[in-house]
Structure 1
Amino acid sequence: MNPGLSRFASQLQQSSSQAHRFIKKLRYKETDHLRFILVHDAERNKNNSDTSTDSKYAMTLYKPLRLIEKSVAQIRLNNDKRQSIHVLSQNAKGYAIFMGINQGGLKNSEINDIRAQFIDVDFNKISERFPTQALARQRLKAIQSDPAEQIQAFSITKHASGQFQLLVQRTESRIRKLKKAFIAKHWPLIKDTMIVETYSGFHIYWVIRNGAVSKFVPIQNALVNKFHSDPMITNLARVMRMPGFYHMKNPNRPFLVRVVHWGRKQSFTQNELIRALQLKP
């Protein structure tokens, strides 16, 4: 294990059973087959790859829940060649661990069981597109002049569409402040949810029972609008970061992804969620 991970050995031990509890919280049965995608964090970030698609920086792994070890330090998953892969070792090499949330398969068309509605709230970056470079620079100047913002890095690049992409990355201290502000603002709406903290923000889950596949995407879009979360997190076969493993975009400063709030025991129905949050799917 690399030096960065060894510094967090005690933290890892404390959350060792989080991955298994997370899976059980999503109502997976012992006989259900789970799918995982391991993606190299640094290379994915460099190439702007999507975790929901395979690439040379990704590997797809499987295992039935009944055979998944309860300690993250012991978990081994199988690839298409039936080889056993030690997941934590891959995590130490820079691979992030993602799991499919809904049940059924690898493609949107194969999903047949909704396990949760969820959002990804990301405070790490500001990403916007503009028709001209001048407008992108104008927006950057406005961000830089905001006394509340703390910027670590920025870039303006020309997108394939012809537009100009502005990417601003915030400092860790700014991210921590935004995390606290988000929880304080939205706590009445998310106190019954399962909340996973990542380096960049939060993954928030409303565990669903008897969910309709046809309602999933409209509710996801409504949640994005409600919480101003990542608009990409709407497809049925979406994979999300697993708690109990490290976020490795910066290998020198690994961040342990962990559940910080388990929420209520009883799952939601989709209609209950719509009423409770006054969503407009």
Structure 2
Amino acid sequence: MTQRRAKGSAPVQLYSGHAYRFLEKLGCKPNDQLHFLLVSDSKGKNRGHSFATELPAITLRKPFRSLEKLAPRIKLFSRRNKLVNVLWLNKKGYAVFVEINGRESEKDSPFNAIRAQFIDVDLNKISARCKTKEQIQQKIDAILSDPSEQLQSITLTQNKNGQYQLLAQRTRQRVAELKKQFLNKHGERIKDTMIVETKNGYHIYWIMQDGNINKFVPIQKALAQTFDSDPMITNLSRVMRIPGFYHMKNPESPYMVKVIQWGREKPFTQEELIKRLELKPAVTSKIKQKRRKLHARKTS
């Protein structure tokens, strides 16, 4: 009698080494303490029960030197120092995220390493915010009149300030088309990057060496503007989905997050990235203060 293979087991075996290699590619050192965040991916529905319940976020950690090399074997320490199997929680509906940049040690300690500059290209959603119902209706009409668009849902809400918020979600077929278009359009500019494919788009990483922490946020903002990607992906503590685990927003159709391009061996410098992509990062207030102090010394 043949054993029935569990749903999604083949992708797990195929991409089981992606999580470790992803972190290795980011330049994680043996003594680096890695910080993970697990959050509910299935909108609060706890499968296996007849009722809906909120799945609490879980913070986990482990030194890179102790991390298992295959996703099914990865066990991380909880706040109470208990080891938990990450793939088991992932299949229960938790999305698996990892903090990209490096901290000195503990979760609340300062950052001391810029491992990458990166963007989140989400091709699934169309969002808009307008002051009046007439304006938001014009946005809806424009979307519906576009013959190339394929939508599975449109949601309209009104916030406390009276503004109307539109959120339209595209079909899987349309997202697949837009993925191809994005790669064709930006292929030359992202040919040396590490690319993680998610259900709704791509996470693209420029691996860094000797990155200046003060330059991180301005470069993030400039990258988001250049690639029309998520403008919220700018903070030092940003967590991103880790490959080798499932996107579980639709538990009946889990999607394996995976690396489709590992990128070049030599890391980028921030200066090289700015020059290559012709970025125009805004000068932060801290850098302005340093320049003013330096100028004052020279003129005194």
Normalized against structure 2, the TM-score is what? 0.86
Superposition pairs of residues 32-181 of structure 1, within 5 angstroms: 32-43=32-43, 57-104=56-103, 106=107, 110-181=110-181
Superposition pairs of residues 152-231 of structure 1, within 5 angstroms: 152-231=152-231
Change (3 A) 1:129 1:183: same
Change (3 A) 1:106 1:128: farther
Structure 1 residue matching 2:174: 3-state secondary structure: helix
For the 8 Å contact 1:143–1:149, the answer to whether it is kept is yes
Distance (whole Å) between structure 2 residues aligned to residue 77 and residue 275 of structure 1? 39
Change (3 A) 1:233 1:263: same
Change (3 A) 1:70 1:272: same
Distance (whole Å) between structure 2 residues aligned to residue 220 and residue 124 of structure 1? 21
Distance (whole Å) between structure 2 residues aligned to residue 44 and residue 278 of structure 1? 42
User: After the TM superposition, which of the residue ranges 58-67 and 7-16 deviates more from structure 2?
Assistant: 7-16
Matched to 1:206, the amino acid is: W
Structure 2 residue matching 1:156: 3-state secondary structure: strand
Superposition pairs of residues 22-37 of structure 1, within 5 angstroms: 22-37=22-37
Partner of 2:291: none
Distance (whole Å) between structure 1 residues aligned to residue 273 and residue 119 of structure 2? 13
- List structure 1 runs of 4+ shifted beyond 3 angstroms: none
Matched to 2:89, the amino acid is: Q
Change (3 A) 1:132 1:57: farther
Structure 1 residue matching 2:10: 3-state secondary structure: helix
Total equivalences in the alignment = 267
Distance (whole Å) between structure 2 residues aligned to residue 199 and residue 44 of structure 1? 19
Distance (whole Å) between structure 1 residues aligned to residue 185 and residue 44 of structure 2? 32
Alpha-carbon distance, 1:212 to partner: 0.4
Q: Structure 1: where are the runs of 5+ without partners? A: 46-54
Give the number of the structure whose alpha-carbon radius of gyration is greater. Answer: 2
Distance (whole Å) between structure 2 residues aligned to residue 160 and residue 268 of structure 1? 44
Deviations 1:243-278 (A, max 9, x none): 000001111111000000001000000000000100
Structure 1 residue matching 2:73: 3-state secondary structure: coil
User: After the TM superposition, which of the residue ranges 174-183 and 139-148 deviates more from structure 2?
Assistant: 139-148
Partner of 1:50: none
For the 8 Å contact 1:33–1:63, the answer to whether it is kept is yes
Partner of 2:249: 249
Deviations 1:201-240 (A, max 9, x none): 0000000000000000000000011000000100000000
Distance (whole Å) between structure 2 residues aligned to residue 64 and residue 28 of structure 1? 10
Task: Say which structure, 1 or 2, has more relative contact order (CA 8 Å, 6+ apart).
Answer: 1
Structure 1 residue matching 2:112: 3-state secondary structure: coil
Alpha-carbon distance, 1:8 to partner: 2.2
For the 8 Å contact 1:106–1:237, the answer to whether it is kept is no
Alpha-carbon distance, 1:100 to partner: 0.2
For the 8 Å contact 1:37–1:99, the answer to whether it is kept is yes
Deviations 1:4-56 (A, max 9, x none): x93321121011000000000000011111000000012279xxxxxxxxx96
Partner of 1:232: 232
Structure 1 residue matching 2:152: 3-state secondary structure: strand
Normalized against structure 1, the TM-score is what? 0.92
C-alpha root-mean-square deviation of aligned residues, in Å?
A: 1.6
User: After the TM superposition, which of the residue ranges 60-69 and 109-118 deviates more from structure 2?
Assistant: 109-118
Distance (whole Å) between structure 2 residues aligned to residue 13 and residue 38 of structure 1? 21
Distance (whole Å) between structure 2 residues aligned to residue 268 and residue 87 of structure 1? 31
Identical amino acids, percent of aligned pairs: 51
For the 8 Å contact 2:39–2:56, the answer to whether it is kept is yes
For the 8 Å contact 2:40–2:55, the answer to whether it is kept is no
